[in-house]
Amino acid sequence: MKHHPILIIGHRNPDIDSIASAIAYARLKEMEGNTKVMAGAAGQLNRETSYVLEKLRIQPPPLISDVKARVEDLLDNEPVVMLHPVMKLGEAANLLRDRQSKTLAITDKNQRLLGVMTVGDLAMILLDGVGDPNSPEEAGTRVQRIMDTPLSEIMKPQNLVVFDQSDLVAEARDMMLKTRYRNYPVVDEGNHFLGMISRYHLLGMQRKPVILVDHNEKSQALEGIEEADLLEIIDHHRVGDLESISPIYFRNEPVGATCTLIAKIYIEKGYTPEPKIAGLLLSGILSDTMIFKSPTTTGTDREIAEWLAEISGLEIEEWGREIFRVASPLDLNETRNAINEDLKEYKYGNTTFAVAQIETADMTHLEQYFPEIQETIEKISASRGYDLMFLMVTDIFVGGTQLLIAGEKGDLGVRIFSDNHRHELFLKGVLSRKKQIIPIIFRGLAQNELV
């Protein structure tokens, strides 16, 4: 049986907070003496995350696409028995008896699967041979001759149901129900024999152990999470819809970043993160709290950040600006990609609207593209059937958001935020979509229905 390490992983479309939390928490587990842990990434790293890891000289975590149960998770620890095709049937029969096996694999000298021999096959061969009334031989001689036959002459490689170790358990289960053999050989990519599985093995299936950080909703988790063994959740988002089989350690606090919680756990357990891990945790906090300017920021985030800055030797404001500079889209193309990457849809009554947000460290630089960006969101809005679309271009250094509004009900959108007619307006002090934009749109749409 393949023993999987505990996978610590954040949400899909990972940001710095997700990746940093996973790496730092895995490191803490190692410091505590748990060697079978690994951090993973539930998606391609974005530019600022790669930048932070490179700067701090931290290896990026491997990309993990899913935690679905696979056939390799069914294999047990029994030693694998392989027969060579030159082996005589008699020897194979002894092995079947000694091992109390019902099925044995026949392989070449490189352990590649050639066929199988079952107790049933052996019985049929004996019955056929011994019971032949036309044979002139004595029964004993006949049995001896049969037992001297090499396996290569009797093995049946056809109609063999073989599983690849990476096949999904769900599919293998269906196949087993359809074919109902006693045992099924499992091979790797190179057709090397790895062991036998049976329906009985489905009961002892090994679920992959997983710890989730920075999310607790199924739609944000990597695929197959319902087939995994959920061990812990550490998060700072609203409580979502994931279920666990047994009681687990579930820590959720309304702070600005999951990295704040991971750092708190270090402190509670009496550990100090290494300087580069402290720098990584600090990066997650600065990114998620927009260098403490987001209204989601708490006093705990600031305190913990100070502590991490001291250990890492990084200067908070300077390092934060560097991260946001890297995160800023530089040209029109990058801006368009960023809009599509961070687009959230909502519905109120019969109005469907979307709000996208991009962050920039240099609003004046992006301003030159505003006409093209306006065109882009008009197109997105039309092609996706939105009545209304908002784009927040947020500059945390200026401390405000330029709002671009598109869609058939664009004028209504403008009226919600201002009394002039421009589809482009600046909102000072507005940084958070969740707290400062969405509620106002909903309120505006509700009022519009009343008049």
- Point out which residues bind Mn ion (CB under 5 A): 17, 214, 258, 288
**Strand-pair category, 184-187 with 193-197:** antiparallel
Q: Which two tokens stand for residue 221?
A: 């988790």
Query: What's the closest the beta carbon of residue 237 comes to Mn ion, in angstroms?
Result: 7
**Nearest residue to Mn ion on Cβ basis:** 17
| Cβ contact 400:428 at 8 Å | yes
Query: What's the closest the beta carbon of residue 362 comes to Mn ion, in angstroms?
Result: 24
Q: How does DSSP assign 365-383, residue by residue?
A: HHHTTHHHHHHHHHHHHHH
| Cβ contact 346:354 at 8 Å | yes
Give the nearer residue to Mn ion in terms of CB position, either 49 or 352.
49
- Phi and psi of 393, rounded to 5°? -105, 105
Query: What's the closest the beta carbon of residue 407 comes to Mn ion, in angstroms?
Result: 30
| Cβ contact 199:221 at 8 Å | no
Query: What's the closest the beta carbon of residue 13 comes to Mn ion, in angstroms?
Result: 12
Query: What's the closest the beta carbon of residue 62 comes to Mn ion, in angstroms?
Result: 21
Give the nearer residue to Mn ion in terms of CB position, either 74 or 281.
281
Give the nearer residue to Mn ion in terms of CB position, either 215 or 336.
215
Give the nearer residue to Mn ion in terms of CB position, either 96 or 262.
262
Spell out the residues 6+ positions from residue 292 whose beta carbon is closer than 8 angstroms to its own.
Answer: 256, 286, 301, 302, 305
Query: What's the closest the beta carbon of residue 33 comes to Mn ion, in angstroms?
Result: 28
**Strand-pair category, 37-40 with 6-9:** parallel
Give the nearer residue to Mn ion in terms of CB position, either 75 or 285.
285
Degrees, nearest 5: CA angle 312-316-320: 110
> Which letter does DSSP use for residue 437 in this model?
I
- Phi and psi of 187, rounded to 5°? -125, 165
The three state secondary structure string of 392-431 is EEEECCCCEEEEEEECCCHHHHHHHHCCCCCCEEEEECCC
Q: Rounded to an integer, what distance in angstroms lies between the CA atom of residue 288 and that of residue 294?
A: 8
Give the nearer residue to Mn ion in terms of CB position, either 183 or 287.
287
Q: Which two tokens stand for residue 347?
A: 């519905």
Q: Rounded to an integer, what distance in angstroms lies between the CA atom of residue 424 and that of residue 367?
A: 11
Give the nearer residue to Mn ion in terms of CB position, either 235 or 387.
235
Query: What's the closest the beta carbon of residue 15 comes to Mn ion, in angstroms?
Result: 7
Buried b (16+ CB within 10 A) or exposed e, 287-309: bbbbbbbbebbbebbbebbebbb
Bridge partners (DSSP) of residue 30 are: none
Query: What's the closest the beta carbon of residue 286 comes to Mn ion, in angstroms?
Result: 12
Query: What's the closest the beta carbon of residue 312 comes to Mn ion, in angstroms?
Result: 19
**In a 3-state reduction of DSSP, which class is residue 445?**
helix
| Cβ contact 133:162 at 8 Å | no
Give the nearer residue to Mn ion in terms of CB position, either 115 or 256.
256
Give the nearer residue to Mn ion in terms of CB position, either 187 or 257.
257
